[in-house]
Structure 1
C-alpha cells in the first residue's frame, strides 16, 4: 500500500506540472499530497519495524496508538470527500480537522503514559529499545495526520 501511495503522490505531482487549471493552488495540492504520503510512510515504517524487531507483544495501551491512527485515517478520507464542496459549506471539513487535532492530543497522552510505564516495567533493555522505537514511530504518524488537518484548515481560511 505504501508503494501505491507513493505512485499516487508522484502522479499528483506530475499532473500539477501539466494541468493549467487546478481546484486550488498547486502548492497547497502538493503539500497536501506530500503530507498524506507521510502518514502512509509512517504506518509502513511501523509495520516494517514490527516485522524486523519482532518485539514481545505490546500491551493494550500501546495498541491504542494504532487504533487512533486508524481513526485519523478515516477522518482524512472523509475530509478528502469534502474538498469539492468545502467552499460552499466548510463546516464538515472544519469538524474533521478538529477531530484530527483532538485525536493527536489523545495520542500524545497515550504515548506519554505508555513510555512512562515501559521504562518503569521493562527490564530487558533490548526489548525496551525495540518497543520504544515502534511506539515513537506510531506517535510521529499521529503528528503527520494532524498536519494534514492543519493544511486543510489553511485551505478553509484561504478559500471558504
Structure 2
C-alpha cells in the first residue's frame, strides 16, 4: 500500500504541475518506499569526493538507456542496464570499493544499488536526484569526453524536473 501511495503521489505531483520542491519530495518518498535499504549520497558529497585527490575515486555507474547515456553522462561513468541480473564489468572490484549509481532521478539506480548490495558490495550509493539534480545545480555532464549542456529528459513527465535549458532536444537524443 505504501508503494502504491508513493507512486501515485509522485505521478500526481508531476501531472499537476506542483512545485519542484514538492515533486522532488514525492520522488524521494517513492524511492525510499520501494528501496528502503538503499543508501543515498548527495550531489554535494559526490562532487567533494570527485574533487578530493587523496581519497579513492568512486566508480560511477549510469543506469540509464544507451540513448540517454549518449546525450550526456557524468565524466568517467560506465553505463549499466538497470534490469541486469549481474554486472560482470565489476567482477574485478573489491567488495568495499566505493560505487555511486545514478539515472535520471534516482529510481532505476536505486534498483541497481539494491542488486549490488545483494551481490556483496558494501559501499554502494544511489545519487540523490541523480543526473537531473547534478545538472540542475550547474555541475558538468559530458558527451564523448567534452562538456555539454544537455541531458536526456527521459520522457515529457519526468523531464519536467530538468531545467528547461538543459533538456535535450529530440535531434540530440539520437546522438
TM-score of the pair, normalised by structure 2: 0.28
Higher strand share: 2
Query: Looking at CA atoms only, which structure, 1 or 2, has the larger radius of gyration?
Result: 1
More helix by share: 1
Name which structure has the greater RCO, CA cutoff 8 Å, separation 6+.
Answer: 1
